[in-house]
Structure 1
Amino acid sequence: MKQRLVDAGFGLGWSLVKWLPEKVTRAAFTAAADVVWYRKGAGVTQLEANLRRVLPDADDDEIRKTSRAGMRSYLRYFQEAFRLPVWDRKTLHERMTITRLDRLEEASARGKGVIIALPHMANWDLAGASVTVRGYPFTTVAERLKPEALFDRFVAYRESLGMEVLPLTGGDANIFGVLARRLREGRLICLLADRDLTRSGVPVDFFGEQTRMPAGPAALAIQTGAALIPATLAYRETGIHATLHPVVAVPEEGDRKSRIAAMTQEVADAFAAGIREHPQDWHMLQRLWLADLDAERLARIEGRPTPGDRRPGGPATGTPGSGSAA
C-alpha cells in the first residue's frame, strides 16, 4: 500500500505540477522542505552528519542553516523534475550555464566517447536534458526502484528528455558491456558516482575519511580509451551551473586495480571541491562514510565474516545495495 501511494504521489506530481505557475510550485515545495527540515527526521539528521564532514569548522547554527538550504535544494529537484517535461529546448538550454564546456567538446572530438561522472548535486536531470539539446545525447544507468511502476515512470520521464536509460539490475543486457559499446561509438555516458557502499566499491579518501565510490567510470575509461570528466552542479536563482573538471588521465603504470583506484580518488577530489563550494546543493541524505555504518554491514562490505554468516568463514548470500539514486 505504501509503495502504491508513493507511485500515485509521483503520478499526481507529474500530472499537476507542470501546469501550475512556477512561482506557486516553488513556494509550495520550499514550504514543504521547511516542514521536513523542522521535524528533523532521519534524513535531515543524516544530512547534517554528512555536512559536518564537509564543513568541519562550522558551528551547530551554521550546520542547521546549511541543512535547511539543503532540504530546499533537495525539494527543488523534485519540483523541477515535475516541470521538466513541458520545458522547450530553448528553456532547457538557457537553464544551465557551463564552465569549461570546451573540455567536453575536445574530448568528444576524439571520437572515443566521454564519461561524465557526477555527484548527487542540484538537478542532474536538468543537466542531462540541457546537454542533450546541446547536441550530446547520452546513456545513463538507473537503479531499479520499488514499486516497479515508479521505476517505469522515472525511465519514461528521462527518456522523454532524450536520455537512454539502462536498468542497473533486472535487465537482459550486460550493463558494462552496453556502456562500453556506446563509448566505442563515440557517445556520451553520464553516471552518478558519489556512493557505492558495496564490496565492489573503490575505497577513497573523501573529506578526510574513508568511503567507497563506484569503479565503473574509471574501469570504462581504461577499457575503452574514453575521456573521464568529473562534473559538479550548483543551483542558481533560475536554473543550474555546471563545472566540468579536468579530464582524469589513465595512469601509465600499475595494474588495472591500482589505476582504477587512483582515477576514482581523483574523481572524489573533484567532487569534494564542488561540494565544498556549494554544500547546500549536495543531496546526500544517506550514510556515506564507512565510520557511520554498523559493524555487520561494514564487515560485509570488507568481505569479513559476520554473526549472520551461513557457513563458517564465509559471508552469507547476498550483497548490500549501493544506495545510488535513480
Structure 2
Amino acid sequence: MNLREPLTAGAFRAAWRFARVVPEDVAVSASRRAADLLARRGGPRVQQLRRNLARARPDAGPAELDALVRDGLRSYARYWLDAFRLPGWTRERIVGTVRLEHGAALRAALADGRGAVGFLGHLGNWDHAAAWSATELTPVVTVAERLRPEQVYAEFLAFRRSLGVEVLPLGDPASFGTLLRRVRAGAFVPLLADRDLTGAGVEVDFLGGRARMAQGPAALAVATGAPLFPVGLFHEVREGRRVLVLDVAARVPVPARRPGEQARDHRRRAVAEMTQACADALAAVVVAHPEEWHVLQRVFSED
C-alpha cells in the first residue's frame, strides 16, 4: 500500500468531520478562505482550470480570468462542503433547495416507467441533484470513477447510498449491463460525461475546441430506447436563499437509420451525433455559469 494513502484517508475523514460539526456559516467562510488561498498559490490544477474557463470566456482579460478562477474555486470548495454535510440535511432541505426547470418530459418518461438517461457535466452539485432525484423522481443509478485510497472510495459509496443513489464502478465490464437493466426497470441514470475517463469517448466540438466526452449516456439511450436529456446544474440566490437549479434540456433524439446503413454503423453514428448534441447543450450552461464548472483536469485535445 502507498504510504500516502492512510494520510489521505485521514485528511479526508478530518475534513468530513470538520464540515459536519462546525456551524455552517463558519464552514462556508473557511471554505472560501481555502479557495482564495489556492487561487493565489496557483499550481498545475489551478492553471488548468484557468485554461478551461478561458474557453468559456475567450474575450476575458487577465483580471477577469483571475476573478473567474477565484469564483470557480470558491464554487468547487462549496461543492465539497455541501457534499460533506449532505448526509445530515433533512429531507425538507434537500427538496426545498432544488428547483427543476423544464422537467415535464423527464417526469413523464419516468412516470410511464420507461426510465431515462441524463447527460451531466461537473457543474453545480451533482450529489445534491442525485439525492433530490432519488427523493422526488425515481430510483437513481450512476457510475463513479474508483478513487484512491480505497477507504475513501468505500466511504463515498456509502455516502451516496445513504442519499438513495446506487453507484456502479467505472471501468467494471458488468456496469453497463447493470445500467441497461436499471433503465429498463424505470430508473433515472444521470451520468457525468464531460470528461472521458475510459479512453473510448467521442470527440466533439466544445467551447471552440475539440474534446472527448463519455459515450455512455448516448450508448445507453440507443441500446434501451430510453430518452436522453442533457441536464445543466447551477446555483441561484433568490431572496437570500441558495437554490440548486436542475435545467433539463430538450430530449436528444436517436437519428434515423439511413438506407443501407448497417446496424453497427448506425449505432456508432447515433452515439456520436447524440453526444455532440449533449455537448452543445452543456456548452451553453458553461458559458452562462462558468464559475460552476468544476473541472481542474485536461478536457481539450490541445491540452
**Shift of the alpha carbon at 1:197?**
5.6
What is the distance in 2 between the residues matched to 1:107 and 1:248?
13
The TM-score with structure 2 as length reference comes to 0.93
Extract structure 1 runs of 4+ deviating beyond 6 A: none
- Cα deviation code 1:27-63 (max 9, x no counterpart): 0000000000010111110011111111111111111
Q: Is residue 300 of structure 2 the alignment partner of residue 289 of structure 1?
A: yes
CA contact (8 A) 1:197 1:212 kept: no
Amino acid at match of 1:287: R
Q: Offset of 1:195 from its aligned partner?
A: 1.0
Q: Output the TM-score relative to the length of structure 1.
A: 0.86
1:22-37 correspondence to structure 2 within 5 Å: 22-37=24-39
Q: Which residue of 2 aligns with 1:208?
A: 208
Whole-angstrom distance in 2 between the partners of 1:141 and 1:197: 11
2:241 is the alignment partner of 1:240: no
Query: Higher mean Cα deviation, 46-55 or 263-272?
Result: 46-55
- Contact 2:110 2:138 (C-alpha < 8 Å) held by counterparts: no
Of all paired residues, the percent bearing the same amino acid is 43
Q: Deviations over 1:113-172 (max 9, x none)?
A: 100111001111011111112142210111111110010011011001000111114x5x
Q: Measured at CA, do residues 91 and 64 of structure 1 come closer, stay the same or move farther in structure 2, by a change above 3 Å?
A: same
The answer to whether the Cα contact below 8 Å between 2:110 and 2:137 also exists between their aligned partners in 1 is: no
Q: Please state whether the residue corresponding to 1:71 is helix, strand or coil.
A: helix
- Cα distance in 1 for partners of 2:150, 2:219 equals 30
Q: Is 2:260 aligned against 1:278?
A: no
Distance in 1, matches of 2:44 and 2:277, equals 31
Structure 1 residue 220 and structure 2 residue 226: aligned? no
Indicate yes or no: 2:278 matched with 1:267.
yes
Q: Which runs of 5+ in 2 are unaligned?
A: 259-265
- In 2, the alpha carbon distance for the partners of 1:47 and 1:13 equals 23
SS at match of 1:251: coil
Q: Tell me by how many angstroms 1:198 deviates.
A: 4.8
Indicate the residue corresponding to 1:116 in structure 2.
Answer: 118
The worse-fitting range, judged by mean Cα deviation, of 114-123 and 233-242 is 233-242
CA contact (8 A) 1:118 1:271 kept: yes
> Structure 1 residues 197, 149: CA separation in 2 closer, same or farther (over 3 Å shift)?
closer
CA distance in 2, matches of 1:168, 1:40: 30
Q: Matched residues in 1 for 2:199 and 2:100: separation? A: 35
What is the CA RMSD across the aligned residues, in angstroms?
1.3
1:257 aligns with 2:268: yes
Matched, 1:93 2:104: no
- Equivalences, count: 290
The match for 1:313 is none
Unaligned 5+ residue runs, structure 1? 293-326
1:1-326 matched pairs, under 5 angstroms: 1-169=3-171, 174-196=174-196, 198-237=198-237, 238-254=242-258, 255-292=266-303
Q: Is the 8 A contact 1:18 1:82 kept in 2?
A: yes
